[in-house]
Structure 1
Amino acid sequence: MVERATQPEGSQVAVEVWSDLGCPWCYVGHHRLRTAMAQRPDADRFDIRMRAFELNPNAPQEPEPVETAFIRTHGGTTAHFLRAERQIQALAHGEGLEFSLDRLSASTFDLHRVVQYAGDQGRGFEFFSDLQDGYFAGTLNPYDSDTLAGVAESAGLDGQRVREILAGDDYAERVRADRTEGLELGANGVPFVVLNRRVAAPGAQKVAGYGQLLEQAAAGPVPSERVP
């Protein structure tokens, strides 16, 4: 549940996005959300904040082919994996997005820790988007520390700081707290978007759907009430 609150006209709108790097629906949803925001004349009012949500907290640390991870998690065969992947691939291609079937899968906990750092520097959404775009395009391995540091530097972040984070446990509690808070707000999976703690959007909405949510969140004061 999300608590409604009043929204002063013209003020900033906090857009919290619970997501996981390897989630294909998050990949599609992020692009739709960005498109919906870009269509608004007041796009600069929306402050996107990435929130961590591991879909599989028990995923192995060592990267493996995404097919292997899919079959272990969902069961079935290579044919089942390819059918599911090609469906989302066709949808992504239809929206102008690259989507490689040759990807790796592993625990995303450390990636979320680095995204927390990026968020503290005001680069969370940009860094996450660059990382996810490259991952689904099949052009980078996000589980490689040098690659991760390079993407961070391209986003204006400190690559050495990224290496220090990966070598320690900084931001670990924040990553765990994000997932717990998302569950408390009603997230059963990701993407899960909450705008100004007034309206929530589970799943990858259409561009028009995100547009309606942005309009609702940007509106003036409304009566206090609870919404799912």
Structure 2
Amino acid sequence: MTDKSPIRVDIVSDVVCPWCVIGYHQLAKAVEETGIAVEIHWHPFELNPRMAEEGENLREHLAAKYGTTPEGSRKARARLTEMGAVLGFEFNYADDMRMWNTFRAHQLIDWAEEQGRAHAAELALFAAFFTRRENLADPTVLADVAAEIGLDRDAARAMLEGGERAERVRERETFWLERGVQGVPAMIFEQRHLVTGAQGEETYARILNQLSAVKAA
């Protein structure tokens, strides 16, 4: 019997990871081109789990963590901005942009998932950070994002301040770390095929076509 169900794609991601934005939108383009339906499940990963509440200047952070020079940073931001524009996403970098701790942001996504809004939350948080340069460690900002996607602002704020999702998010992060995910984006197709990094819409289209053919066999 032919299987007409969508192809499951688990995406391990951090909302301050530009390549997660690029990779997702490349996948979305591949879905549009192939007409093959997917079912996306987002999973938490923190690029900077020990980052302080006040965050860090993005350029200084990249220099300290990766040895990125100011010129290298400018070139990378320009490249990402161009790639994003082609894919329909606005990167709005600035020299005073800050990197933030994302643990609360992942708690918001986890909470939103129970209400069928995890995908909307992930995309809204990408925009909040990269387009509007908002502080994703701030419960007020996160509550506003919740309201933006149709969830209750006060309930979101109370959840974040109470920390009721913290343990669950830590467990979910540990799950993927124990399975060898050390960087993002990491996409797992049909719970079997791991693809790391932003691989381009042609690669994703090829994967979708191959998996769709297997389902149809």
TM interval, shorter chain, is 0.7 to 0.9
2:115 aligned residue (104, 111, 121): 121
Change (3 A) 1:118 1:90: same
Where in structure 2 are the equivalents of 1:57-76 lying within 5 Å?
57-76=49-68
In the alignment, what sits opposite 2:182?
188
**TM-score calculated relative to the size of structure 2:** 0.86
**How far 1:74 sits from its partner (Å)?**
2.1
SS at match of 1:188: coil
Change (3 A) 1:53 1:105: same
- The superposition leaves residues 60-105 of structure 1 with CA deviations (integer Å, 9 ceiling, x where unpaired) of 2213321222222223543343233233233333434321222321
More deviation, 15-24/194-203: 194-203
**How far 1:148 sits from its partner (Å)?**
1.7
Task: State how far apart, in whole Å, the 2-side matches of 1:136 and 1:99 are.
Answer: 5
More deviation, 14-23/168-177: 168-177
Change (3 A) 1:176 1:208: same
In structure 1, stretches of 5+ residues that fail to align are 1-6, 223-228
1:153 aligned residue (147, 153, 165): 147
Task: State how far apart, in whole Å, the 2-side matches of 1:204 and 1:12 are.
Answer: 21
Task: State how far apart, in whole Å, the 2-side matches of 1:35 and 1:76 are.
Answer: 30
Task: State how far apart, in whole Å, the 2-side matches of 1:173 and 1:214 are.
Answer: 34
Tell me, yes or no, if the aligned pair for 1:19 and 1:50 is still in contact at 8 Å. yes
SS at match of 1:205: coil
In the alignment, what sits opposite 1:55?
47
CA RMSD, aligned part only?
Answer: 2.4
In structure 2, stretches of 5+ residues that fail to align are none
**TM-score calculated relative to the size of structure 1:** 0.82
In the alignment, what sits opposite 2:128?
134
1:98 aligned residue (90, 108, 111): 90
The total of aligned residue pairs comes to 214
SS at match of 2:178: helix
Tell me, yes or no, if the aligned pair for 1:198 and 1:217 is still in contact at 8 Å. no
1:35 aligned residue (17, 25, 29): 29
SS at match of 1:164: helix
Percent of matched pairs sharing the same residue: 32
Change (3 A) 1:8 1:170: farther
